[in-house]
């Protein structure tokens, strides 16, 4: 966590979806261009979310969310199903306007945020290289397909059709797409859910490397093993607020927990029993 001196940009409480900042592959496969919805005003070096609130109708999902995440770090957003992780990520990516609050982005790159949707979908008939070129055009940046694919270890399959990728490779490709234009912030919604342990570990390493190169990575996950391996900060979201933000080790220490799962559960409304009902299963590699 660090101080940041850029001023924040308040967002009008109009509830409109915005698609101006990030480029994403939507769930129906249609690419949505982003580009720069609410530009960072100042030279801050951290991602700073301040007092973000978002409701759908009369259902409040995010009540008052605040946190910061430094460059070069991985911040892991965890919380029960339906706690608002995707909603928050979409607000940070500029794809969803908050009702209140602000998101301050660090300077840098042609694009401010790269976004991986929870269920990325690409046009299956195009090759990876063609798809990257397409997203590059949308973002208004030149793309070196081999260089981008190298970031995730897919350079050998640049000419393969996207439809011929495995689930894990598709997820990696989605991460590669998010890095187009080299945005300083990557927002990844469950980048390794449903993947086998080897691929989960590989995705974790890719995420770690992307952060180590100086990016800020904000990801949502239910896999606390991945959080333990690659996360610098655990952000526990429940009841519309960040219940705690701490390093995995500190969280365990603070709660006297042997496992990260147990530690996180201490901050979830209703405790572990309730969580089991609400979240289904939590995958902790430490148990």
Ligand X SMILES: Nc1ncnc2c1ncn2[C@@H]1O[C@H](COP(=O)(O)OP(=O)(O)OP(=O)(O)O)[C@@H](O)[C@H]1O
Q: How far is the CB of 86 from ligand X (least distance, A)?
A: 3
Part in contact with ligand X (CB under 6 A); list of ranges 21-29, 65-73, 83-91, 99-107: 83-91
Residue 38 or 85 having the CB closest to ligand X: 85
N-to-C CA span, the chain? 29
79 binds ligand X (CB under 6 A): yes
Beta bridge mates, 205: none
Residue closest to 223 by CA, chosen among 113, 74, 98, 31: 74
Binding mask 99-138 for ligand X (x = CB under 6 A): ----------------------------------------
- The beta strands (E) that lie in 147-276 are given as 185-189, 216-220, 233-238, 241-246
Work out the angle at residue 27's Cα, subtended by the Cα atoms of residues 51 and 83, and round it to the nearest 5 degrees.
35
List the one residue from 29, 82, 194, 197 that touches ligand X (CB under 6 A).
82
Burial of 179 (0-12, 13-18, 19+ CB in 10 A): buried
Q: How far is CA 212 from CA 42, 47, 198, 222, 281, in A?
A: 23, 16, 21, 22, 30
In the complex, the smallest distance separating the C-beta of residue 57 from ligand X, rounded to whole angstroms, is 7
Calculated CA dihedral for residues 255, 256, 260, 262, nearest 10 degrees? -80
Segment lying near ligand X (by CB under 6 A), choices 1-9, 43-51, 74-82, 135-143: 74-82
Could you give the angle at the alpha carbon of 67 between the alpha carbons of 120 and 184, nearest 5°? Answer: 50
**Which stretch of DSSP H or E encloses residue 183?**
none
Nearest approach in angstroms of CB 17 to ligand X is 8
Least separation in angstroms between residue 135's CB and ligand X is 24
Residue 86 or 127 having the CB closest to ligand X: 86
Is 84 a binder of ligand X (CB under 6 A)?
A: yes
Pairing of strands 46-56, 59-70: antiparallel
> Please, are residues 140 and 35 in contact by the beta-carbon 8 Å criterion?
yes
Binding residues for ligand X restricted to 153-172, rule: CB under 6 A = none
Cβ at position 281, least distance to ligand X in Å:
12
Name which of 145 and 240 has its Cβ closer to ligand X. Answer: 240
| Residue in 12, 13, 15, 81 binding ligand X, rule: CB under 6 A | 81
Q: Which is nearer to ligand X, 40 or 65 (CB)?
A: 65
Binding part of the chain for ligand X, among 30-38, 75-83, 137-145, 249-257 by CB under 6 A, reads 75-83
User: What are the distances in angstroms from CA 241 to CA 77, 161, 171, 209, 235?
Assistant: 11, 41, 28, 29, 10
Binding residues for ligand X restricted to 31-70, rule: CB under 6 A:
56, 61
Residue 63 tokens read as 């009540």
Determine the interface stretch with ligand X among 2-10, 64-72, 76-84, 134-142 (rule: CB under 6 A).
76-84
Rounded-to-integer distance, Cα 190 and Cα 175, Å: 11
Count residues contacting ligand X (CB under 6 A)?
Answer: 10
Pick one of 9, 26, 66, 86: the residue that binds ligand X (CB under 6 A): 86
Output 3 or 59, the one with its CB closest to ligand X.
59
8 Å CB contact between 52 and 100:
yes
Residues near ligand X (CB under 6 A) are 56, 61, 79, 81-87
């Amino acid at each position: 966590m660090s101080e940041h001196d850029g001023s924040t940009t308040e967002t009008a409480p109009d509830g409109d979806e915005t698609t101006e900042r990030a480029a994403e592959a939507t769930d129906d496969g249609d690419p949505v261009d982003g580009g720069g919805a609410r530009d960072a005003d100042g030279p801050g070096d951290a991602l700073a979310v301040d007092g973000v609130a978002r409701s759908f109708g009369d259902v409040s999902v995010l009540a008052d969310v605040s946190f910061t995440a430094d460059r070069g770090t991985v911040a892991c957003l965890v919380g029960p199903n339906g706690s608002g992780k995707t909603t928050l990520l979409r607000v940070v990516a500029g794809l969803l306007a908050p009702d209140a609050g602000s998101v301050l982005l660090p300077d840098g790159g042609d694009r401010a945020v790269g976004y991986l949707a929870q269920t990325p979908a690409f046009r299956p008939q195009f090759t990876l290289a063609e798809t990257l070129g397409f997203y590059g055009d949308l973002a208004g940046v030149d793309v070196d397909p081999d260089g981008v694919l190298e970031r995730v270890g897919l350079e050998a399959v640049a000419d393969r059709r996207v439809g011929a990728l495995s689930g894990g490779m598709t997820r990696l490709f989605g991460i590669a797409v998010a890095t187009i234009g080299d945005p300083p912030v990557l927002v990844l919604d469950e980048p390794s859910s449903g993947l086998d342990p080897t691929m989960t570990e590989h995705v974790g390493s890719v995420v770690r490397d992307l952060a180590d190169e100086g990016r800020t990575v904000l990801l949502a996950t239910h896999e606390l093993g991945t959080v333990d391996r690659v996360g610098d900060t655990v952000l526990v979201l429940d009841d519309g607020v960040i219940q705690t933000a701490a390093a995995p080790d500190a969280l365990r220490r603070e709660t006297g927990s042997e496992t990260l799962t147990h530690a996180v559960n201490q901050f979830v409304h209703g405790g572990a029993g309730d969580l089991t009902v609400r979240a289904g299963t939590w995958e902790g590699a430490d148990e």
